[in-house]
Amino acid sequence: MKKIYLTLALLGCTVLSAQATEADSTMAVSTAEPTAMPTLKVDSATSTTKSTAASRFMKAFNPSIKFGGYIMGKYSWNDRAGQESNGGFDLRYLRLYANGYAFKDFYYRFQLEVNGAPGEDKGPRIVDAFIEWQKYDFLRVKLGQFKRPYGFENPYNPIDVGFGSYSQATSKITGMSDRCGEHKSGGRDVGLQLQGDLFRSKKDGHPWLHYQVGVFNGQGINHTDKDKSKDIIGGLWVSPIKNLSIGGFGWNGTYVNEKYDAKKAQNTSEPYYQQKKIDRKRWGAGLKYEDKWTVRAEYMHSVGGVVTDYRKPTKSDAWYAAVGAPLFKNFKLYGKWDCYRDAKTWSSMKTDWALSANYYLSKNFVFQLNYIFTDDRATTGDRYYNTLDVQVTARF
């Protein structure tokens, strides 16, 4: 009997011991779970915070983008003697652009010119690439590569000029095909510009006063700075009535001949190596009126040499007067008197008398017929000649 009681006692102890072990195990799990939960909650909160911050950033960023471009083709003919060709077909422009806004107040734009055979300052290249802060009308800040703030005509799109080409003043003294020998830059440079409109009319909202001033490298587009000085360019004009602006412009800067070679300059008579650096001190004045009728007139004066030829005079000037009249629906006729004096003497003057007929099939599809009679007193060849061209432009 004692053995039976002893056996039962041992079995009872075993069962109690097993129950105690199971209870301890259960308690261990129970105490472990609460310590793990706070870690999961922290991760969830961090993820939510990051998601909210990203959402707020994207909402503020809110970028927009618009793509477009235009193509301009032409056929030209001239009767000037002594030239290898009298004209022909040409793809004048093929440009693609994109612009838009980010963070509500930041406007951006980049534009590519994609026609032409590749080469130095030719073929596919960047034309515009800038960002502008536009929060306030009275102060806008632009940084990048864009049009120089010099002249009324320079900022015009080629389609809106009204003629088959820009005036000689714009071409020679704003940096399109600059007289100083700068590479082709389309009137543009790399820099920083401030501009704004002040004192708006209560009647129609147009600004009475506009200013613009910028600091630029001086070497034109897609080229880095080559000296320690910078170009200062600016303009100021008043608008007594809507669509009419009267004002002036100034430019103080330099241009460095990037192909200058000191050794060759000493040992060769080639003009290309004679000028290392020249000044560009310029001023201009003019007016513009743009509505159904168009009236533009400017005078520009330049002091500074030519890097490609030390024998060239340092003073030049140019002026033009242009009128555009709407004759009937979708048709506008332009006329222009356009003069340039490379040496600021009457004997060096080149005069273009131009007529241009513009027919707008739509605002984005334009036909142009352009005629120019030229009197070039500076040439040693044919002084008088005629040029005729037809241009077709499509915007998309």
pLDDT digits (tens, 9 = 90+) for 336-390: 999 999 999 999 999 999 999 999 998 899 999 999 999 999 998 899 999 999 9
Co-location of 30 and 148 in the same domain: no
| pLDDT tens, position by position, 110-119 | 999 998 888 7
Co-location of 75 and 57 in the same domain: no
Domain-ending residue, one of 45, 61, 77: 61
Co-location of 48 and 193 in the same domain: no
- Residue 366 per-residue DSSP state: E
Co-location of 185 and 274 in the same domain: yes
Q: Six-digit token pair at 308?
A: 């490609």
Co-location of 86 and 209 in the same domain: yes
Residues linked to residue 53 through DSSP beta bridges, in sequence order: none
291 pLDDT above the threshold of 50: yes
Domain-ending residue, one of 15, 35, 61: 61
Co-location of 257 and 287 in the same domain: yes
Co-location of 56 and 79 in the same domain: no
Domain-ending residue, one of 24, 45, 61: 61
8 pLDDT above the threshold of 70: no
pLDDT on residue 345: 93
User: Does residue 377 sit in helix, strand or coil?
Assistant: coil
pLDDT on residue 6: 39
218 pLDDT above the threshold of 90: yes
Co-location of 163 and 188 in the same domain: yes
Co-location of 134 and 39 in the same domain: no
- Using the CB atoms, write b or e for 237-256: b if 16+ within 10 Å: bebeeeebbebebbbebbbb
Co-location of 57 and 82 in the same domain: no
- Measure the CA–CA gap between 196 and 137, rounded to whole angstroms: 6
Instruction: Find the CATH number of the domain harbouring 208.
Output: 2.40.160.10
Better-predicted residue by pLDDT, 87 or 333: 333
pTM for the predicted model, two decimal places: 0.82
Co-location of 154 and 288 in the same domain: yes
Residue 154 corresponds to which amino acid?
N
Domain that holds residue 17: 1-61
- Rounded to 5 degrees, what angle do the CA atoms 149, 313, 354 make? 60
Domain count, the chain: 2
Co-location of 15 and 159 in the same domain: no
